[in-house]
Amino acid sequence: MNENRFQKRTLFLILYIVFALLPIYWMVNMSFKTNAEILSSFSFFPRHFTWDNYRTIFTDPAWYSGYLNSLIIVAINMTISISVALPAAYAFSRYSFIGDKHLFFWLLTNRMTPPAVFLLPFFQLYSTLGLMDTHIAVALAHLVFNVPLAVWILEGFMSGIPREIDETAYIDGYSFPRFFLTIFLPLIKAGVGVTAFFCFMFSWVELLLARTLTSVDAKPIVATMTRTVSASGMDWATLAAAGVLTIVPGAIVIWFVRHYIAKGFAMGRV
Amino acid sequence: MARIDLDLAHSYQANPQQDEDYALLPMKMSFADGGAYALLGPSGCGKTTMLNIMSGLLAPSRGSVEFDGRNVTQLSPQQRNIAQVFQFPVIYDTMTVADNLAFPLRNRKMPGDQIRKRVAEIAEMLELSGQLDQRAANLAADAKQKISLGRGLVRHDVSAVLFDEPLTVIDPHLKWQLRRKLKQIHLELKLTLIYVTHDQVEALTFADQVMVMTRGRSVQVGSAEELFERPQHTFVGNFIGSPGMNFLPARVHERALLVAEHRLGLSRDLALPEGELKLGIRPEYVALSAADDPTALPVKVTQALDIGTHVLLTGQCGDLAIKARLRPDQEIPRCGDRVWLGVLGSHTCFYKNEELLPC
Amino acid sequence: MLSSKPVNQKAWWLVLPVVICVAFSAVLPLMTVVNYSLQDIFSPERRVFVGTEWFALVMRDDELHAALWRQLGFSLAVLTVEIPLGIMLALAMPAKGWKASAVLVMVALSLLIPWNVVGTIWQIYGRADIGLLGAMLQKMGFDYSYTGNATHAWLTVLSMDVWHWTPLVALLCFAGLRSIPAAYYQAARIDGASKFAIFRYIQLPKMRGVLMIAVLLRFMDSFMIYTEPFVLTGGGPGNSTTFLSQYLTQKAVGQFDLGPAAAFSLIYFLIILLLCFILYNWMQRVGTTDKEGAGHE
């Protein structure tokens, strides 16, 4: 009976993966075609295989600097988001203090706000501060939705750890930083992995704020990709190639945090 | 209730070559029906591995497990009808205490009123009757462990109950209550109980027979008294007792016993082989002696700790440190005094290559 | 889990960095928006305070109501499909070994594509003449056209969202599942629990925390959705797939009217806030163990 259940699960998984990968395959397919071929007929494999689209991206500085800018922005944002979220999540999880429930919900509300709402105010704010077209501006702007998310997810995982672990550590003489880094963090590995990935992802794909706050120096790749509409119409092929290349950093991040997400919670003796 | 027979070895590696590759070195062991056993040993000695093999959560890489003569090696824990209590309470958070206890019975499709009766019986025994309708997740750790235990006991035909360091998360002042409860249950239900722990007090108070393990093998199985009086291995002498046994390197030469260059008088009927040995004597049996006593060694007192119920004296004889437990009403020597400590007597054991010599 | 947390006002120090970051980014801009929503802005110099006139105007708008209903329907559909699908996916994903890593990467890929590219790809993907999906559906006998048929458009937008965002639910649930100690499964085996009982009594309760995050996140994000449907259908055919965000943008950008746009933004935000608040509290009550609950089920 075990085998039957196992096969059903595997079948479902395979079906889903096919469903998930088909559009991606289509994107890869498109990236090796020319615009003409894309728009003219349906072909499962490129009839006239071409590297042109990738060549455009790798040689045009506007394109590859876009990737670099995105990476810098996201790196800054991830670092700040997780560093400030960890202590806050711990506080929410372990202690009760004045206004804690309201504060938590207020944090969530920031995640709920349509980004369009922040557009004009951010524009004014960063212009005034002289931070327009810098990586730090976009990284700070993205904190609005990433920090609440990070606190939210981490708090959930932290609350799953019994408080006995904290108390045992204090009795054993651990200082708070040592306890946090050597005992607590490893136990919430899955949460940290997921948080890191989501912070990366949401900041990486955010378009509206990124495009508004940058023009040349810090223009991220997502903004560069929107300029593929020209007089001759949409440049589908280059866009597809850019899309394929956009997945790569994300796949690498997932690869790095996979151990954190996939490893179990081993409740050994602390 | 079942008699468990083990004849196995276990390695987590595919091709074990040396002793270090084995989690459990080849061994044969029997646990009598209705007996209370403790598996005692330091971390990593293989006691949890052995427990998991007995419960069916792990299959031994070699050998067999038999319950009442029946080979159960390939059977699941459910099929073996065992119950296991883990280090931390494992309960179903969303259910009440009563539902938790009833769960195994419901899975067996037992009629409702029989379930209710049985749950009430077990709850009574574990002193949980007042909390049956409460949500299990809200209770304290010791109540949760009782629920975990109760789920194991609730089945009528449970063959054995296995405990994997169950008091780990319990507050110290509640530990003895739970230990007493476990002992009570043993007497009432006469189940085969196997208890894994690294705490000798827990092991010695709970079990009839304690199996001391280290590095994948069992070094001695015996009652608390046997382990205390006649440790078969220096490890047991060291591990049991607080503080452990004194071990003094000694040499037998031409029928004379030399310890730290001091000659001790051997009685005629003590037949010891020539060469290097260890003399083992528990601090409880080391007493102050008269000067020049042939069974005593001269020491200089380096420490005299008043523990309350006794005084722990440490004396140096040459390079050797000897510990003695003295009664507080005696004349206690002070640091720096020179005294004689009797080490040779009926409680002395001799060891060659860490193993006890028959004497 | 435990009944009460110790009170410790010093915990505010731990929370302070977060408050500063978010307040800096959120409070100041929000105040600006409130400011705008109460004024009629003809030019940077000429502003007239109009009080709640914009709010009233916005509330009376019929097209707004239509967009709101469409949006609610969409978000509901999204949750109904993505949450169970995400849970099933998380349960099906292998936990250890190279397979776990491979599946994890493959599942997460769709999350990493910039949203306008998602829309663009599906645009081609869904066309019967040049796209894989369109061609397949056409071969199966459907007269499929997401540009001409409103139902097809809805289904396509929904499928696109499911394809895009289900992995978020799955990843959260997957991480939650990995946090369950092995002893729980062992105890369940010993108790003779069926696979469904294990799911219902061990896995689902332990995933409660992450599921709540998943539900709220998906609700919020689907309610605010803009780029993907805009790129795919442009809101059409007609306005059958014009959801709230697009409606707002049309009004603000199309008519350059900051006042009503700001007012609408606030209302939009308040609607999300209200619905999330309700959802949040409902999920807390359904799931949590509260002290008053002890004794009566």
Give me the mean pLDDT over the A175-203 stretch. Answer: 87
Q: Which of residues C293 and B64 earns the better pLDDT score?
A: B64
Q: Which residue of B has its CA nearest to C180?
A: B90
Any CB–CB contact under 8 A between C122 and chain A? yes
Task: Assign domain B246-356 one CATH number from 3.40.640.10, 3.30.450.40, 1.10.620.20, 2.40.50.100.
Answer: 2.40.50.100
- Tell me the chain B residues in contact with residue A162 when contact means C-beta distances shorter than 8 Å: 88, 169
Q: Is residue C96 part of a domain?
A: yes
Any CB–CB contact under 8 A between C205 and chain B? yes
Q: Quote the pLDDT of residue B24.
A: 87
Of the candidates C269, C252, C258, C266, the one whose C-alpha atom is nearest the C-alpha of residue C36 is C258
Contact check, Cβ <8 Å, B77/C1: no
The stretches of chain C forming alpha helices (DSSP H) are 11-37, 53-60, 62-92, 97-108, 115-125, 132-139, 150-178, 182-190, 195-198, 204-206, 208-223, 227-233, 244-249, 255, 258-287
How many CB contacts within 8 angstroms connect chain A with chain B? Answer: 9
Q: Which chains touch C (3 or more CB pairs under 8 A)?
A: A, B
Contact check, Cβ <8 Å, C187/B148: yes
Any CB–CB contact under 8 A between A152 and chain C? yes
* Bond preceding residue C237 cis, omega within 30 of 0: yes
Contact check, Cβ <8 Å, C190/B92: no
Per-residue pLDDT tens for C198-243? 999 999 988 888 888 899 889 989 988 888 888 888 877 888 888 8
* In chain C, % of residues over pLDDT 70: 85
Q: Quote the pLDDT of residue A263.
A: 63
Q: Quote the pLDDT of residue C288.
A: 54
Q: Which chains touch B (3 or more CB pairs under 8 A)?
A: A, C
Contact check, Cβ <8 Å, B169/A164: yes
Give me the mean pLDDT over the C184-209 stretch. Answer: 88
- Tell me the chain B residues in contact with residue A269 when contact means C-beta distances shorter than 8 Å: 43, 87, 168
Phi and psi at residue B63, in whole multiples of 5°? 105, -170
Q: Is residue C148 part of a domain?
A: yes
Q: Which of residues C114 and C158 earns the better pLDDT score?
A: C158
Q: Quote the pLDDT of residue C213.
A: 86
- Dist. CA B119–CA C110, nearest whole Å: 51
Any CB–CB contact under 8 A between A122 and chain C? yes
Any CB–CB contact under 8 A between B82 and chain C? yes
- Is the pLDDT score of C161 beyond 80? yes
Q: Is residue A47 part of a domain?
A: no
Of A41-45, C45-49, C128-132, C186-190, which has the strongest mean pLDDT?
C186-190
- CATH of residue A216's domain is 1.10.3720.10
Contact check, Cβ <8 Å, A114/C269: yes
- Dist. CA A252–CA B358, nearest whole Å: 66
Q: Which of residues B198 and A62 earns the better pLDDT score?
A: B198
Q: Is residue C8 part of a domain?
A: no
- Is the pLDDT score of A153 beyond 60? yes
Any CB–CB contact under 8 A between C132 and chain A? yes
- Tell me the chain A residues in contact with residue C88 when contact means C-beta distances shorter than 8 Å: 12
**Average pLDDT, whole number, for chain A?**
82
* Bond preceding residue B166 cis, omega within 30 of 0: no
Burial bucket for residue B173 (CB in 10 Å: 0-12, 13-18, 19+):
exposed
Number of Cβ within a 10 Å radius of residue B101: 28
Q: Which of residues B315 and C34 earns the better pLDDT score?
A: B315
Q: Is residue C294 part of a domain?
A: no
Q: Which residue of A has its CA nearest to C278?
A: A105
Number of Cβ within a 10 Å radius of residue C12: 17
- Dist. CA B226–CA B218, nearest whole Å: 15
Scanning the structure block, which residue is given the tokens 């004497």? B359
Q: Is residue C160 part of a domain?
A: yes
Any CB–CB contact under 8 A between B92 and chain C? yes
Of A107-116, C60-69, C210-219, which has the strongest mean pLDDT?
C210-219
Q: Quote the pLDDT of residue C257.
A: 66
Any CB–CB contact under 8 A between A160 and chain B? no
Specify the DSSP class assigned to residue B135: B
Q: Quote the pLDDT of residue B331.
A: 82
Domain, as residue range, for A163: 60-262
Q: Is residue C37 part of a domain?
A: yes
Any CB–CB contact under 8 A between A267 and chain B? yes
- Is the pLDDT score of B199 beyond 80? yes
Kindly report the pTM of this predicted structure.
Answer: 0.80
Domain total for chain A?
A: 1
Any CB–CB contact under 8 A between B110 and chain C? no
Of B136-145, B264-273, C35-44, which has the strongest mean pLDDT?
B136-145
Q: Quote the pLDDT of residue C158.
A: 94
- Is the pLDDT score of C290 beyond 70? no
Q: Is residue C175 part of a domain?
A: yes
Query: pLDDT tier at C289 (50, 70, 90 boundaries)?
Result: very low
Ranges A14-18, B266-270, B299-303: which has the least confidence: B266-270
- Tell me the chain A residues in contact with residue C124 when contact means C-beta distances shorter than 8 Å: 26, 30, 38, 236
Ranges C3-7, C52-56, C215-219: which has the least confidence: C3-7
Q: Quote the pLDDT of residue A231.
A: 58
- Is the pLDDT score of B87 beyond 50? yes
Strand partners, B11: B22
- Tell me the chain C residues in contact with residue B55 when contact means C-beta distances shorter than 8 Å: 190
Of the candidates A219, A204, A209, the one whose C-alpha atom is nearest the C-alpha of residue A77 is A204
Q: Which chains touch A (3 or more CB pairs under 8 A)?
A: B, C
- Disruptive mutation site among C190, C203, C204, C296 for chain B (greatest number of B CBs within 10 Å): C190
Any CB–CB contact under 8 A between C60 and chain B? no
Burial bucket for residue C148 (CB in 10 Å: 0-12, 13-18, 19+):
exposed
Ranges B199-213, B284-298, C249-263: which has the least confidence: C249-263
Q: Which of residues A205 and C293 earns the better pLDDT score?
A: A205
Minimal Cα–Cα distance from B213 to chain C, Å?
23
Give me the mean pLDDT over the C155-182 stretch. Answer: 91
Domain total for chain C?
A: 1
Burial bucket for residue B156 (CB in 10 Å: 0-12, 13-18, 19+):
exposed
Q: Quote the pLDDT of residue B18.
A: 80
Q: Is residue C97 part of a domain?
A: yes
- Tell me the chain C residues in contact with residue A191 when contact means C-beta distances shorter than 8 Å: 175, 179
Which CATH class for the B4-231 domain? alpha beta
- Is the pLDDT score of C89 beyond 90? yes
Q: Which residue of B has its CA nearest to C189?
A: B78
Per-residue pLDDT tens for A17-68? 999 999 999 888 888 888 888 887 777 888 888 888 888 888 888 778 888 8
Name, in order, each residue with C-beta under 8 angstroms of B165's C-beta and a sequence gap of 6 or more: B87, B196, B197, B198
ipTM of the complex: 0.82
Any CB–CB contact under 8 A between A269 and chain B? yes
- Is the pLDDT score of C1 beyond 50? no
Domain, as residue range, for C32: 17-289
- Is the pLDDT score of B240 beyond 60? yes
Q: Which of residues B287 and C249 earns the better pLDDT score?
A: B287
> Rounded to 10 degrees, what is the CA torsion of C182, C184, C189, C190?
110
